Structure 1
Amino acid sequence: MTATWCWERRSRNYGNFGNANQWTVNAGLSSLARESTQNSADARIDTPAELVFTFIRLDGSRRRDFENAVGWDVLGTHLRSMGGESSGAVTAGQIRAGLEAVEEQDSLVLLRVADYGCRGLTGPEFPEDGVPSSEYGNFIKLCRLDLFSGKDEASGGSFGLGKAVYWRFSRLQTVLFNSVLSEDDAVAGLRRNRLFGVNQGVVHTTDGVGYQGRGYFGDPVDDDGVASIWGDERLAHKLYLDRRDPRPGTSALLLGFYDPDRPDLGGGELADLARELREGIEENFWPLLARGGMRVRIEIEDGPHREEIHVDPEETYTELVRALRRFDEGDIDEVLDEPYSVVVRDVPIDISRRRTGTRHNRFTHTAKLVVTASDKQRDSLENKVCLFRRPEMVVQTIDRAFESQTYHAFLVAGAAIDPDSPATEDIHADDFLRFSEPPAHDRWIPGPRGKQASQANLTAHYVAPWVPNLRKIERAVLDELLLLFGAPPPPAGKAPESVMRHLRFLRGDPGGKGGGVSAPRKPDTQLVEWTVVDGCWDVHFEVKARNRAEGWSMRPRLALAGFDGGLDTVDWASLDVVDGGGEIVDGELRLAGKDRGRFVKVVLRGRSTAELPIPAEESGVDVVLRGTGPLVDGEEGTR
């Protein structure tokens, strides 16, 4: 059989201008690391499975031989036709720019992503009438379907979008595959070297004939069907898709590899790309690698140069890897009194009632917060809490620093608590968290209103409400950290929030029942900037008052609050107007009314005396107004 490229004829009813799925995948090698590693982790049938990334640079005769094997004459012709559609399609513009970059460069860069000990591209070539989609094999799901996951419970993804990562990082929107199946998954007795290619292009016209956007590389079996090529080891070798290990799995080859956010780098220094990819894998999958669920290595084939890099998160995230191993062994300390000591705290997560699949009532899941004291070697996960479940990929981090302690931590939830024998409720919790993840699988905790990624899968499977359940995760984690370490340091120029909560009633912040009292008709203050200078508070603040004919007079006072919530007002060493029409007379602020406008405003700067009842570094700060009344003929009004 002869492998060739084929595209279906363009339909009058529908035309596709690219696969929108890929836009759900972020650019950057960290995203490539997350999505591709998760895909392989979900397909594991052996432990440990193995994942190998290989950067390949081809030039000269090696490039020409590869292009001959991949049918470049046909593929290139269609790609050029697709690029001509760039005025009306984003993907077409990408293909045009990618094709120009590939043809201008002497070398062609490929990336091969190969897993071993994983379920390969199983199942028949084409969907069959009457066969439900849930019974499709991995081949159809990956190569012929969009937005379909079909993954088991507690797997990594739920949208079926992670596979788009392969095309996202190909300049030519073209990926080739070779898969080996286990004996149990053999298709009509065939199981080795299942070769196939997919081009995610746009509708185009070549030699006067209109074609659909998606093209396939394989064996044409009828007018519009293209099937896999089986058992052609010679072709697999020419396409750099050799399977060097007899174990089942899949190799994906990305043609014209690049980072979409940095297209100007081209192939760049392959060693730099490999290092960045390694960092992304270690940061996102240190739990998976630490528990031995997968081994990962990165290879470089650059002409005669060969290099192999083994990914080992223990070198970078020593505290986290050791803490996870101690947690798994039940080796826990009572206190954090030295580097690598480990404590565990319970964090409740409310799980909503499920109405599809394996149904269950709402319940409270107990996740485990594991905290370890850090050594002196800094890394990117210091003073952060990594959140993960059974796929053992870090979904999200909660960032919080404390003056008293440098730490590393993780919240292990769902079936990841005891991966060898998870309880039923742990599996249910894992599914709830999986469905809470947006397509990028980068959060459980909803973002601010208007900035929240889609959590539509929860709508389909669970009874609302669930947003409060997810938001309480962060609050519960921070509460446990506060009990361990005390209040966090305030941001530069800002008092601790734990203190400022006691002062809200002074600033007229709105409150509910039992909350602060708002006084909108009286002058109000708003801190603009506040910092400690030589043990004194230096404060810029604004006073805003309703404009009225009789004006206002008042005495601004600096208010300090300690961690016990106690309140003290202190004297100013200096107090001056820096903007606005007011004036300071003997410590009194005088504001005259204006001819027009609803409000009068003035900005002041004050510095406290050095003699304070509470050290400035240990206090919260606000400005309160005393003696508020009308301004009468430039004199003080009634007090």
Structure 2
Amino acid sequence: MEAGEEFGPWLARQLKIAGKTQAELAEELGLTRAAVSAWITKRSVPRATVMGEIAKALGTDLSTVHTRTTDTQAGLPVTWYHRPGYLDGGRDGGNAAAFAFDADVQVLARETCQNSLDERLVENGRPVRVRYTIHELTGEALEAFRAAILWDRLQPHYLAVSESAADQKVGRVVDAGVRDMFEKGRLILLRVDDYNASGLTGDDYDDGKFAAVVRRQLESLKSGRAAGGSYGLGKATLWATSALGMVLINSTLSVPHEGRTERRVIGRLELPWRVVDGQAWAGPAWLGRPDPETPNAEVVRSWWADEETVERLHLTRESDEPGTSFLIVGAHDVASLAPEKPDAADDENGGDDDGTRDITAMHHRLVEALGRDFWAAMTGGGSKLPLLETSVRTLRNGEVVIPEEKVDPAEAQPSRTRALRAFYEGTTVDRLTQAGQVALRNVPLRLPLTGGRRGTLGTHQGVLLVTEAEEKDAAKSEVHSLRGNRMTIKKSTVHGLPLGVTAFQAVLLLGHAAGESAPFADDAEEFLRAAEPPEHDRWGQTEELTLRWSHSAHHRIAALTAEVNSAVKELVVRPKSAGSQENAKLRKKLTVQRKTTAAPKRAAGSTLPELDGLEARIGAGGEWQITAEVKLPRAEELPAMTPVVLLDVRSGSRPRLDWAELVAVDGCEVEDGVLRFTPRARRAVFRGFTDATSHPVRTELTRLVLELRAGTGE
């Protein structure tokens, strides 16, 4: 049973909640004020016979007074507090931090899992467990939940936001969320629970994890150089994913606050500036118990809820293990909004399965994101234990739609998981000679001195693991880079690989991920963390890197990338014949543009270079990544050719895309975007990357055409 709070502080707070003074309580009990004062100052405690009288005076039961694990229900009730409009006339159109991220459940998974990893309780050596629950409410269940969140008191504020929705981006999202709830008669809740985490410890207002998450913006209290977050922006994804701007929180603390640890509850609402009944409101609001110590007891604070309350709010946790539950009210996923063709089940049910399709799409996208970004954190081997366990389940009105699905890293990333386990178990090799082996190379990260000083602090030896890809791997021939918390930070391809190279997967471990005994591991963690943007999806130039190191510090990362690419090439490049099986498969999948119109007559024996092989994929930045092979005719001199990349369209001229980068791989040189071929070479290979900003539409919705034109390509 949870240990209760000391009697004195507990009684003092109950008197404030009930609006009673010490003198009034003493009079009701027939005692002196000095006796009550002695209880509150912890100089004495009341006799057992007096406890019952105190319970009556506070309007509660004797058990509550004895255990003191929750507040009495007398006095100030739980309600919503809306921040008044600014006296200087300032207005906020929403929480700016939320605009740093899209309303995307995959972004949510990345940010929330990273935060849970950073808050893992490391003393017991166990992983932090994160569970995502998608729960659709309809009918009576929806009505009961609306009553629990005091919807009637919120509705005027939502109406005010809807009236001004045309002028505010946040207002348009909220208006659509409210209309979806009432027109479709449903509400999607998305709950994120973590266990074996620290919980929201600290005071409601003073410095601490609770205030950093619930009260403040752009504040990160992450401890340790291996922590993933550093901007204080990740929590904003919770509110960005809510079409109603509402998140409810229930935290079990690892360190007692006010003598308790379980069911610390509060809610936060993010709306734009609005006017309700002639009163201007700034934006955010909080659901909690009014704090008697604030002016007119208007501001609310967290409260210690009973089990019935957390159940009505859909915040019941499965155990008393420390951690926090975040309930996103009105969860929506922009990436799941694209219309899909109804399947046979939809037709049989009259097409009334839009809700099922939405929550099913959310479920699968969450599983995909967790396996893609956190496979390494979920992988153990040898004496190395996993840092993380994740799962996803989907419900409707409490009934199971999709059973809980535990994310298996070996299923999501089979080759990379095998590589990491081989590293942990010490079974790596120096060179790949047969399938299933994992090769290890050390690659140097030369760390600069801080403060703009010239020189090198030291060389951190990163660990590069390379293994042959499996058929089940999604994106092949990529390098996944990560550091201490083992979340995938950077996904990159290796430039300059010839066509037909055996598909591989590579993992780059840096900082503490390379081993606790790796030289300069702490310094590498600090440097790389500073080189990450708020999305934590790459390493490069950032303002913090410039301020703490220098404007050229990012060149050290570029040098590391060059070392990695060189090591990968050394391990995987094996020359293949032009007619190999791999190239045959490639030619079946891809075609190249060949002119069908009659070409001008040329002298006998004079022909042009011709595209003969093409490999294309979409990169992480939305660019086309293209590798092309050119068949060269027998000739002493070959004309210069220009590769031109176009978008295929049904009618009209094809839009031309710009090259961001064009590099020669073999048998040619690139000069101002023009290919010049090596004399007497029979084949040439070049690689190109399009400029994503020149794409008129989203890359995933397009088809690619590559032409090889004589001269400058016009």
Q: Which amino acid aligns with 2:512?
A: A
Q: Which amino acid aligns with 1:380?
A: A
Q: 1:215 aligns with which of 265, 275, 285?
A: 285
Is residue 255 from structure 1 mapped to residue 332 from structure 2 by the alignment?
A: no
Q: 2:318 aligns with which of 244, 253, 277?
A: 244
Q: 1:593 maps to what in 2? A: none
CA distance 1:68–1:88, shift in 2 (3 Å): same
8 Å CA contact retained: 1:80, 1:99: no
- Give the secondary-structure state (helix, strand or coil) at the position aligned to 2:374: helix
Paired residues for 1:514-533 under 5 Å: 530-532=610-612
CA distance 1:98–1:422, shift in 2 (3 Å): farther
Is residue 102 from structure 1 mapped to residue 181 from structure 2 by the alignment?
A: yes
Displacement of 1:39 in angstroms is 1.1
The size of the alignment, in residue pairs, is: 506
Displacement of 1:326 in angstroms is 0.9
Q: 1:351 maps to what in 2? A: 447
Displacement of 1:178 in angstroms is 0.2
Q: 2:238 maps to what in 1? A: 166
CA distance 1:278–1:532, shift in 2 (3 Å): closer
Structure 2 Cα separation of the partners of residues 383 and 465 of structure 1: 29
8 Å CA contact retained: 1:530, 1:540: no
Unaligned 5+ segments in structure 2 are 1-72, 340-353, 381-385, 577-607, 614-629, 643-663, 688-707
Structure 1 Cα separation of the partners of residues 210 and 463 of structure 2: 38
Displacement of 1:174 in angstroms is 0.6
Paired residues for 1:526-605 under 5 Å: 530-532=610-612, 536-537=632-633, 541=640
8 Å CA contact retained: 2:668, 2:684: no
Is residue 333 from structure 1 mapped to residue 405 from structure 2 by the alignment?
A: no
Displacement of 1:372 in angstroms is 0.9
Q: 1:143 aligns with which of 170, 192, 214?
A: 214
Q: Which amino acid aligns with 1:18?
A: G
Displacement of 1:355 in angstroms is 4.8
Deviations 1:408-445 (A, max 9, x none): 11100011112xx3557101101111110001111014
Paired residues for 1:397-416 under 5 Å: 397-400=491-494, 403-416=500-513
TM-score w.r.t. the length of structure 2 is 0.66
Structure 1 Cα separation of the partners of residues 229 and 195 of structure 2: 20
CA distance 1:457–1:52, shift in 2 (3 Å): same
- Give the secondary-structure state (helix, strand or coil) at the position aligned to 1:437: coil
Q: 1:396 aligns with which of 465, 478, 490?
A: 490
Q: 2:531 maps to what in 1? A: 436
Structure 2 Cα separation of the partners of residues 445 and 605 of structure 1: 30
8 Å CA contact retained: 2:262, 2:320: no
Q: 1:4 maps to what in 2? A: 79
Q: Which amino acid aligns with 2:331?
A: F
Displacement of 1:352 in angstroms is 2.4
Paired residues for 1:601-612 under 5 Å: none
8 Å CA contact retained: 1:339, 1:374: no
- Give the secondary-structure state (helix, strand or coil) at the position aligned to 1:179: strand
CA distance 1:264–1:199, shift in 2 (3 Å): farther
Structure 2 Cα separation of the partners of residues 273 and 104 of structure 1: 21
CA distance 1:488–1:170, shift in 2 (3 Å): farther
Displacement of 1:28 in angstroms is 2.9
- Give the secondary-structure state (helix, strand or coil) at the position aligned to 1:381: coil
Q: 1:494 maps to what in 2? A: none
CA distance 1:93–1:272, shift in 2 (3 Å): closer
Structure 2 Cα separation of the partners of residues 74 and 238 of structure 1: 17
Displacement of 1:44 in angstroms is 0.5
Q: 1:615 aligns with which of 682, 685, 689?
A: 682
- Give the secondary-structure state (helix, strand or coil) at the position aligned to 1:287: coil
- Give the secondary-structure state (helix, strand or coil) at the position aligned to 1:255: strand
Structure 2 Cα separation of the partners of residues 5 and 44 of structure 1: 31
Structure 2 Cα separation of the partners of residues 80 and 259 of structure 1: 23
Q: 1:449 maps to what in 2? A: none
Q: 2:377 maps to what in 1? A: 288
Deviations 1:99-158 (A, max 9, x none): 22222111111000000000101100113xxxxxxxx21110001111111212220011
Structure 2 Cα separation of the partners of residues 100 and 272 of structure 1: 21
Q: 1:364 maps to what in 2? A: 459
| Bigger mean CA deviation after superposition, 36-45 or 12-21 | 12-21
CA distance 1:195–1:443, shift in 2 (3 Å): same
Q: 1:20 maps to what in 2? A: 96
Q: 1:29 aligns with which of 98, 101, 105?
A: 105
Q: 2:150 maps to what in 1? A: 71
TM-score w.r.t. the length of structure 1 is 0.73
Q: 2:410 maps to what in 1? A: 314
Q: 1:193 maps to what in 2? A: 263
Structure 1 Cα separation of the partners of residues 609 and 252 of structure 2: 64
- Give the secondary-structure state (helix, strand or coil) at the position aligned to 1:240: coil
Structure 2 Cα separation of the partners of residues 535 and 351 of structure 1: 44
Structure 2 Cα separation of the partners of residues 385 and 264 of structure 1: 30
User: As a proportion of its length, which structure holds more strand?
Assistant: 1
8 Å CA contact retained: 2:640, 2:677: no
Q: Which amino acid aligns with 1:181?
A: L
Structure 2 Cα separation of the partners of residues 174 and 264 of structure 1: 24
- Give the secondary-structure state (helix, strand or coil) at the position aligned to 1:362: strand
8 Å CA contact retained: 1:168, 1:260: no
Paired residues for 1:370-519 under 5 Å: 370-375=465-470, 377-400=471-494, 403-418=500-515, 421-423=516-518, 425-445=520-540, 455-486=542-573
Q: 2:171 maps to what in 1? A: 92
Deviations 1:299-347 (A, max 9, x none): 1112333511111010131111111011112211132122220111111
Is residue 277 from structure 1 mapped to residue 354 from structure 2 by the alignment?
A: no
Deviations 1:472-499 (A, max 9, x none): 222111111222233899xxxxxxxxxx
CA distance 1:176–1:411, shift in 2 (3 Å): same
8 Å CA contact retained: 1:169, 1:257: yes
Displacement of 1:531 in angstroms is 2.1
Structure 2 Cα separation of the partners of residues 618 and 162 of structure 1: 43
Deviations 1:181-220 (A, max 9, x none): 12xx111102110110011111111112111100001111
CA distance 1:472–1:529, shift in 2 (3 Å): farther
CA distance 1:487–1:68, shift in 2 (3 Å): same
8 Å CA contact retained: 1:445, 1:474: no
| Bigger mean CA deviation after superposition, 269-278 or 293-302 | 269-278
- Give the secondary-structure state (helix, strand or coil) at the position aligned to 2:376: helix
Displacement of 1:618 in angstroms is 7.9
Structure 1 Cα separation of the partners of residues 677 and 511 of structure 2: 52
Structure 1 Cα separation of the partners of residues 266 and 517 of structure 2: 38
CA distance 1:565–1:259, shift in 2 (3 Å): closer
Deviations 1:499-541 (A, max 9, x none): xxxxxxxxxxxxxxxxxxxxxxxxxxxxx98524995449874
8 Å CA contact retained: 1:203, 1:210: yes
Q: Which amino acid aligns with 1:197?
A: G
CA distance 1:213–1:263, shift in 2 (3 Å): farther
Structure 2 Cα separation of the partners of residues 438 and 614 of structure 1: 44
Q: Which amino acid aligns with 1:149?
A: S
CA distance 1:623–1:213, shift in 2 (3 Å): closer
Structure 2 Cα separation of the partners of residues 459 and 562 of structure 1: 33
8 Å CA contact retained: 2:412, 2:473: yes
